[in-house]
């Protein structure tokens, strides 16, 4: 499937942009929920191409960014224990806990491994029966089914040295919390297409009705984003607030029934703390009672965690769409990908990292790039040789 070229076609993008320009008559603020969408928007410069009336507010949908500090610290503690093989998706390794990250744990001798699937972690458990293998099960509804499958398989195969450190989060309660926030400016949502490919769209009409916001299920390629914006703007201009599926090649209204059945069996809904935001009721999943023995928190009984978060950074407000990353005083000075204050500067899907990587040019010569930044070594510009060569 040649989806990359097809869904990045400049001519089609121009047509969509023209359509948006022709439709919009007043300012609108849309939130793209998912960090993957934020990454696409900034990487391709879509926010620069949209008419001034359309503002994109970056949502809290990066699972790396919102994993609570306490859970990261538990991961660090478990990964440090002898006899443990700690498996994780790659981008969790650089997220700062209290004072260190998983890369440092590995540098200190911890067995931390990057895997591409929880089933790889399960395979590692089968290959190392004398070790405890723990998989860091984070993410939205997208990554929950394979994690559920791993636990399900572990039970089916009688693998007892495997467990999950779970910090799953759910999108609809987060949208609810954002809309209820007194400072909320969001008038429409681009819902996360991959989440809906699992969950379907049934959870959204009630939210759209109650808060009178259009919700457009949107994909992740540039044309997907533009189509999502086009449909949301069209609804807003018409005074409508319905749920639309602009990602039909991946999303069916009923979602993925097999995945939903697996989720219902293995997980149960719980309150969940979101890093930088706070606790949102019913916004997470934990392993259900039937599968509690595979819960790493339960198995390892991590106690004595003291989290420390300085108040220098405002990633909570960024995650909530209340400020843009560069409006934080720490952005680009105290806080860079090299020395992140917050997870939003760590994850490639984090809004702050996306702005730092791709947008500093538009933000002027301010704090984003001081004359000698600690992130960029100053290369001496001495001539190549001490004695000039004829």
Partner 1 sequence: MPETALDITAWTCPAPLRDRPRVVMGHGGGGALSAELVQHLFAPAFGGEALARLGDCAALRVGGLRLAFSTDSYVVRPLFFPGGSIGGLAVNGTVNDLAMGGAQAAYLSCGFILEEGVEMATVARVAEDMGAAARAAGVEVATGDTKVVEMGHGDGVYVNTAGIGLIPDGVDLRPQRVVPGDVVIVSGEIGLHGVAIMSVREGLEFGVDIESDCAALGGLVRAMLAVTPDLHVLRDPTRGGLAAALNEIAAASGTGVVLHEGRVPVPEAVANACAILGLDPLYVANEGKLVAFVPREHAEAVLDAMRAHPLGRHAAVIGEAVEAHPGLVVARTGLGGTRVVDLPLGEQLPRIC
Q: Which of residues 6-35 bind partner 1 (CB under 8 A)?
A: 8, 10, 13
* Dihedral, 329, 331, 332, 336 alpha carbons, nearest 10: 140
Identified binder of partner 1 from the candidate list 237, 282, 327, 329, rule CB under 8 A: 282
Min CB(59)–partner 1 separation in Å: 14
Angle at 38 between CA 34 and CA 44, to 5 degrees: 140
Of 126, 180, 238, 292, the one binding partner 1 (CB under 8 A) is 180
* Tokens, residue 166: 């779970």
The site for partner 1, by CB under 8 A, has a size of 103
Instruction: Report angle CA 72, 331, 276 to the nearest 5 degrees.
Output: 35
How many angstroms separate the CA atoms of 3 and 24, rounded?
29
Least Å distance between CB 91 and partner 1?
Answer: 5
- 345-348 long-range Cβ contacts below 8 angstroms, 24+ apart: 345/313, 345/315, 346/64, 346/65, 346/91, 346/94, 346/95, 346/96, 347/35, 347/62, 347/64, 347/65, 347/91, 347/95, 348/39, 348/91
Q: Quick one: tokens of 384? A: 């190549």
Binding to partner 1 in span 84-123, by CB under 8 A = 89-94, 96-101, 103-104, 106-108, 114, 116
Contact region with partner 1 (CB under 8 A), list: 75-83, 211-219, 239-247, 311-319: 311-319
Cβ atoms < 10 Å from Cβ of 338: 11
Shortest CB 361 distance to partner 1, Å: 5
Residue 389 is given by DSSP the state P
**Binder among 19, 29, 49, 153 for partner 1 (CB under 8 A):** 49
CB atoms within 10 A of CB 30: 25
54 touches partner 1 by CB under 8 A: no
Which one of 254-262, 272-280, 287-295, 298-306 is the stretch in contact with partner 1 (CB under 8 A)?
272-280
Indicate left, alpha or beta for 90 from its phi (over 0: left) and psi (-120 to 50: alpha): alpha
Task: Please say which residue, 240 or 375, places its beta carbon nearer to partner 1.
Answer: 375
322, with CB counted inside 10 A (0-12, 13-18, 19+), is middle
197 is a site residue for partner 1 (CB under 8 A)? no
- 142 makes contact with partner 1 (CB under 8 A): yes
Interface residue with partner 1 among 139, 145, 193, 200 (CB under 8 A) is 139
Under the binding rule (CB under 8 A), the answer on residue 335 touching partner 1 is yes
**249 near partner 1, rule: CB under 8 A:** no
Cα separation, 220 vs 38, in Å, equals: 9
List the one residue from 85, 177, 217, 232 that touches partner 1 (CB under 8 A). 177
DSSP 258: H
- Subset of 212-231 contacting partner 1 (CB under 8 A): 222
In the complex, what is the shortest distance from the CB of residue 143 to partner 1, in angstroms, rounded to a whole number? 5
For residues 368-387, which are near partner 1 according to CB under 8 A?
369, 375-387
Instruction: Say whether residue 160 binds partner 1 (CB under 8 A).
Output: no
């Amino acid at each position: 499937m040649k989806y990359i070229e097809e869904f990045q076609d400049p001519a089609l993008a121009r047509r969509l942009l023209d359509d948006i320009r022709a439709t919009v008559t007043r300012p609108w603020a849309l939130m793209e929920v998912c960090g993957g969408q934020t990454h696409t928007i900034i990487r391709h410069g879509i926010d620069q191409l949209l008419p001034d009336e359309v503002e994109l507010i970056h949502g809290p949908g990066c699972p790396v960014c919102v994993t609570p500090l306490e859970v990261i610290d538990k991961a660090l503690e478990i990964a440090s224990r002898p006899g443990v093989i700690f498996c994780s998706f790659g981008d969790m390794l650089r997220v700062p806990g209290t004072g260190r990250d998983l890369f440092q744990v590995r540098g200190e001798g911890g067995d931390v491994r990057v895997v591409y699937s929880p089933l790889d972690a399960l395979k590692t458990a089968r290959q190392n029966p004398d070790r405890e293998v723990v998989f860091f099960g984070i993410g939205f509804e997208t990554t929950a089914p394979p994690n559920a499958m791993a636990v399900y398989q572990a039970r089916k195969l009688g693998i007892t040295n495997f467990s999950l450190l779970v910090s799953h989060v759910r999108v609809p309660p987060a949208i609810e919390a954002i809309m209820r926030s007194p400072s909320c400016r969001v008038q429409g949502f681009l819902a996360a297409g991959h989440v809906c490919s699992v969950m379907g769209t049934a959870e959204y009409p009630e939210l759209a009705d109650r808060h009178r916001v259009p919700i457009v299920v949107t994909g992740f390629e540039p044309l997907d984003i533009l189509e999502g914006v086009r449909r949301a703007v069209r609804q807003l201009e018409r005074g409508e607030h319905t749920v639309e599926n602009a990602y039909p090649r991946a999303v069916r209204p009923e979602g993925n029934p097999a995945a939903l059945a697996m989720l219902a069996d293995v997980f149960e809904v719980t309150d969940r703390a979101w890093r930088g935001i706070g606790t949102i009721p019913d916004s997470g999943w934990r392993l259900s009672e039937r599968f509690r023995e595979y819960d790493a928190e339960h198995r390892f009984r991590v106690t004595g965690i003291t989290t420390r978060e300085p108040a220098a950074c405002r990633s909570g407000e960024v995650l909530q769409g209340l400020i843009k990353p560069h409006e934080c005083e720490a952005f680009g000075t105290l806080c860079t990908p090299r020395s992140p204050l917050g997870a939003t500067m760590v994850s490639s899907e984090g809004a702050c990292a996306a702005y730092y990587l791709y947008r500093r040019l538009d933000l002027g010569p301010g704090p984003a790039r001081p004359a000698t930044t600690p992130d960029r070594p100053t290369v001496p510009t001495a001539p190549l040789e001490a004695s000039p060569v004829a």
